[in-house]
Amino acid sequence: MSASRNPETKGKPMSGKLYVISGPSGAGKGTICRELAKLTDFYLSISMTTRAPRGTEQDGVEYFFVTREEFEREIREGGLLEYAETYGNYYGTPKRKMEAQLAKGRDVVLEIDVKGAAQVREIYPEAILIFIIPPSLAVLKSRLEKRGTETQEKIRERMSIVAREVREIPKYDYYVVNDDLAIAVRDAKAIMDAEKCSVRGPMTDLIERFEEEEKAL
Amino acid sequence: MSASRNPETKGKPMSGKLYVISGPSGAGKGTICRELAKLTDFYLSISMTTRAPRGTEQDGVEYFFVTREEFEREIREGGLLEYAETYGNYYGTPKRKMEAQLAKGRDVVLEIDVKGAAQVREIYPEAILIFIIPPSLAVLKSRLEKRGTETQEKIRERMSIVAREVREIPKYDYYVVNDDLAIAVRDAKAIMDAEKCSVRGPMTDLIERFEEEEKAL
């Protein structure tokens, strides 16, 4: 029995799906990814950055925190799927582990910013892009004010970035409004379950399996 | 506030989605639809037929059972979305109630055979087509044998129809393998939840709402 005949994969070739969970900073991408990981199996890719950890951030949880030297070595060695420099700090997506997981048929989730998502789309046109959006700017603003880590000016600046990033939604496959976290997580999980049922290509394996069975009856 | 600005509809125009649940006879379309109706709100369209009720079938549950005269009057009056005559019996989809529900923004589910689904796709290209498939012909055969309502010859004939109908899968949006009913229902529900998050068109309402909010800050 070949891998593609395994009933577990429903006649599809064994290869994981790549999900990109993106959207404005503060929309709740990270929280949604971590809640999602409790409900279904996937490899959650962690970004690499040269910026310093903030508050309770831990190495290997929110990010892999590395030095500029380490980051630049990764760039030279082709170890990054995409990277960018923002406000003097590097951010990037480590490539090797993620690709190994996809190759062995495991789904991968990348949690990255809107620019990074566009780059991933170019490299993996078949990636499934999900935009996490706050219910409104007013809600996002009040969340950031409660967190109290940024000045009013910074928050104001962020809001205009959000309004600009929202214009990228038409390039995505799905959008999830993060108003109630439980509903947002349910929607993200539904997208992953539905994608497993999605008809793609000529479905030859499945059709042939039924035809062969019919002949053998 | 216009209907399209209602946060409930997430910036999308108020109009229901049309789901077509189709697939071979005996795959479990009806059971899945009835279980789905317990989990989420939609209008389940009931087909009309001139064939006699079987076993415990009730008028208005499995079908609307009508006379040939009544059916032909519906055809003349344009009351059917699609219809076909199979083995001397008419089967059709009543149109008016379904369209009224869609117009007022409610989702509609049609449970119809594979031929009917193809006709609906032509009339409503934006319909979401879900193919319910048994895990294998062997499983379907044993289900039908247990039910004991059909001769071996009839069952054999059915199997070749199923193998032929499975070839229509590439025309569908999704396929759900009905092996474990609970999982099949979960998948169908996930498809409906994910479709609500699907990015379609330019998403102008949502983008403009964020831009206006940003200007007003």
Digitized pLDDT (tens) for each residue of chain B, 217 residues in all: 333 333 444 434 448 999 999 999 889 999 999 999 999 999 999 899 999 998 899 999 889 999 999 999 999 999 999 999 988 999 999 999 999 999 999 999 999 999 999 999 999 999 999 999 999 999 999 988 988 888 999 999 999 999 999 999 999 999 999 999 999 999 999 999 999 999 988 999 999 999 999 999 8
Give the closest of B141, B166, B201 to A207, CB-based. B166
pLDDT of amino acid B5: 34
Q: For residues B165 and B160, what is the distance between their CA atoms, to the nearest angstrom? A: 9
Tell me the nearest-neighbour CA distance from A192 into chain B, angstroms.
8
**Chain segment A1-11, per-residue pLDDT in tens:** 333 333 444 43
**Chain segment A125-153, per-residue pLDDT in tens:** 999 999 999 999 999 999 889 888 889 99
Contact between B167 and A199 under an 8 Å Cβ cutoff? The reply is no
Please report the residues numbered 117 through 136 in chain B whose beta carbons come closer than 8 angstroms to any beta carbon of chain A: 130-131, 133, 135-136
pLDDT of amino acid B214: 94
Instruction: Over range A47-68, report the average pLDDT.
Output: 93
Quickly name the fold that domain A3-45+106-216 has.
Rossmann fold (3.40.50)
Contact between A153 and A120 under an 8 Å Cβ cutoff? The reply is no
Residue with tokens 């599809």: A12
Q: For residues B41 and B60, what is the distance between their CA atoms, to the nearest angstrom? A: 18
- Tell if the CB–CB gap between A217 and B174 is shorter than 8 Å: no
pLDDT of amino acid B150: 86
Contact between B104 and A184 under an 8 Å Cβ cutoff? The reply is no
Tell me the nearest-neighbour CA distance from A151 into chain B, angstroms.
15
Inter-chain contacts counted by CB atoms under 8 A, chains A and B: 134
Interface test with A, best of B21, B39, B166, B200 (most A CBs within 10 A): B166
Q: How many CB atoms lie within 10 A of CB A51?
A: 14
pLDDT of amino acid B7: 40
Tell me the nearest-neighbour CA distance from B185 into chain A, angstroms.
11
Q: What is the pTM of this model?
A: 0.88
- Tell if the CB–CB gap between A197 and B187 is shorter than 8 Å: yes
B182 contacts chain A (CB < 8 A): no
E strands, B25-145, in order: 43-45, 48-49, 64-65, 80-86, 89-94, 108-111, 128-133
- Tell if the CB–CB gap between B189 and A187 is shorter than 8 Å: no
Residue A34 has pLDDT above 70, yes or no: yes
A161 contacts chain B (CB < 8 A): no
**How does the average pLDDT of chain A come out, rounded?**
91
For chain B, what are the domain ranges? Answer: 3-45+106-216
Residue A69 in 3-state DSSP? helix
pLDDT of amino acid B1: 32
- Tell if the CB–CB gap between B198 and A174 is shorter than 8 Å: yes
Q: Which amino acid is at A150?
A: E
CA Rg value for chain A: 20
A166 contacts chain B (CB < 8 A): yes
pLDDT of amino acid A144: 87
**Chain segment B116-148, per-residue pLDDT in tens:** 999 999 999 999 999 999 999 999 999 889 888
A196 contacts chain B (CB < 8 A): yes
Contacts of A197 in chain B (CB under 8 A): 130, 174-176, 187, 190-191
Contacts of B10 in chain A (CB under 8 A): 175, 177
* Kind plus residue range of the DSSP H or E element containing B175: strand B174-177
User: Alpha carbon of A116 to those of A20, A80, A188: distances in Å?
Assistant: 9, 11, 19
Nearest to A193 by CA among A3, A4, A6, A10: A10
* HEC readout, A107-129: CEEEECCHHHHHHHHHHCCCCEE
A63 contacts chain B (CB < 8 A): no
Residue A21 has pLDDT above 90, yes or no: yes
